[in-house]
Structure 1
Amino acid sequence: MIADLKFCKIGFFDDYVICNVNEGVTLCTKKNKEITVFLLNHFQNKPFVYITERIHSYSVDPSIYSHSSKVETLKGFAVVAFNYFAASSADYEKNFLEKPFEIFNETIAAEHWAKNLLKTV
């Protein structure tokens, strides 16, 4: 299943999602809450991992991670960075999330990490 929000697309899998935020978006608290509500409605009380593919250039307000840290069923966060700038930004952002946060350069590696992480919770 793929959900098309106005500012991103979210692909749903059994226990993780892959999100692609649109070019030029600023991912702020309001948009983060919209994603979170959508994910919680889908997964209900089931643990899940959030994977974002940084295909496009967009901004992230690091304050969104304090809210995301409180989502009990969110067990981890992965960024698939396809360039140095995306990886560098993600490395800075990981300081704000109080959950496992990893950076990858391939989606398949992030998916494997998500599945292994969920085996331990």
Structure 2
Amino acid sequence: MSSEFLEKTYLTTHELAIGTFNFYEHVIVGQIREGMQISIDNVLPLLALSWEAYQNTSMVYISDRKYSYSLDPTMYYEVKKLIPYMKGYAWVVHNDFNRQVAEIEARFLQCPNAIHSSMSDALKWSLKILEDSSAV
């Protein structure tokens, strides 16, 4: 399901200083670069691109957490204010350490969120969230 959905709904890819972000209809899949320190300031370019793409619809962000990086999870409070159209946030984790980090981050999110071990599961969950919010 995941590869079919991704093929059919692909919009564009953005290479930013902090990572690679694939935009699909109603979904962004992001992969932050190894060792990055994420702040609201270096996330602003991504927020601006998401605003351009999704301001009139709903979306879910999927963090493909392949690499380790740091962020202040309180920035999620600001992110939610800046992108109110975000209906959910999912992580795809590849090891126990990144799962533990995602569990901490999840406490700061003000939208539905879930941690998955595969992209397919994260996409299924995302589409359900979007369906429940009548976005698709």
Deviations 1:45-91 (A, max 9, x none): 21000001011111121121101222210000001010001000010
Alignment TM-score, normalising by the size of structure 2? 0.85
3-state SS of paired residue (1:96)? coil
Q: CA deviation at 1:28?
A: 0.8
Question: Which of residues 5, 9, 26 in structure 2 aligns to 1:15?
Answer: 26
2:59 corresponds to which letter in structure 1?
F
Moved beyond 3 Å, runs of 4+: none
Give the distance between the partners of 1:46 and 1:107, measured in 2 at CA: 22
3-state SS of paired residue (1:69)? helix
Identity of aligned residues (%): 26
Give the distance between the partners of 1:4 and 1:95, measured in 2 at CA: 28
- Give the equivalent residue in structure 2 for 1:119: 131
- Give the equivalent residue in structure 1 for 2:118: 106
- Give the equivalent residue in structure 1 for 2:9: none
Bigger radius of gyration: 2
Deviations 1:74-119 (A, max 9, x none): 0000010100010000101111111011100001110111111101
Matched positions, count? 121
Alignment TM-score, normalising by the size of structure 1? 0.95
1:42 aligns with 2:42: no
Question: Which of residues 16, 26, 38 in structure 2 aligns to 1:5?
Answer: 16
Give me the CA root mean square deviation. 1.0
| Unaligned stretches of 5+ residues in structure 2 | 1-11
